[in-house]
């Protein structure tokens, strides 16, 4: 396939435009709108906010602490918040569901040589993951 010069230039212009939009936070605003316009910790008006999740899934104290800790980190750290927003959008869940899913992932997966394993170390993590996704 032969690329014409004008196609390469168009692709570069589009790539640069997308990069500028990403740097300005345009896509995180879209994600927030997709999650009913809420702030990172209230989950919007979708009904699936952090309080709802914590009251409808039977978490242990350790699990609750991990979820709240990650939510607090997302409030304080723009990179963490944007990463979670992007994952939530990709996974089709609310921001707060993604917070819970990530916290559970970190509790029930092991890191080997700095890389997260693909296998759950405990069935409980897999069960909690399923419950959060089905809210």
The mean pLDDT value for 41-66 works out to: 77
Q: Is the pLDDT of residue 38 over 60?
A: no
Which of 29, 44, 25, 57 is CA-nearest to residue 95? 44
Q: What is the pLDDT of residues 76-120, one digit of tens each?
A: 999 999 999 999 999 889 999 999 999 998 888 876 777 777 766
pLDDT at 49: 84
Count of domains forming the chain: 1
Calculate the alpha carbon distances from 101 to 4, 37, 47, 57, 80 in Å: 45, 20, 17, 12, 14
Q: Is the pTM of this model over 0.95?
A: no
pLDDT at 45: 41
- Domain extent, residue 117, equals 5-133
User: b/e map of 69-79 (b: 16 or more CB within 10 Å)?
Assistant: ebbeebeeeee
pLDDT at 105: 87
pLDDT at 41: 42
């Amino acid at each position: 396939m032969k690329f014409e010069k004008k196609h390469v230039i168009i692709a570069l212009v589009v790539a640069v435009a997308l990069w500028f939009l990403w740097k300005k936070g345009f896509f995180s605003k879209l994600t927030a709108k997709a999650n009913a316009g809420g702030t990172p910790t209230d989950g919007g008006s979708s009904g699936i906010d952090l309080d709802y999740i914590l009251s409808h899934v039977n978490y242990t104290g350790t699990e609750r602490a991990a979820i709240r800790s990650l939510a607090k980190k997302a409030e304080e750290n723009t990179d963490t918040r944007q990463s979670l927003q992007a994952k939530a959008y990709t996974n089709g869940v609310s921001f707060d569901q993604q917070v819970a899913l990530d916290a559970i992932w970190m509790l029930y997966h092991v890191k080997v040589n700095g890389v997260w394993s693909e296998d759950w170390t405990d069935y409980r993590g897999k069960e909690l993951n399923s419950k959060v996704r089905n809210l």
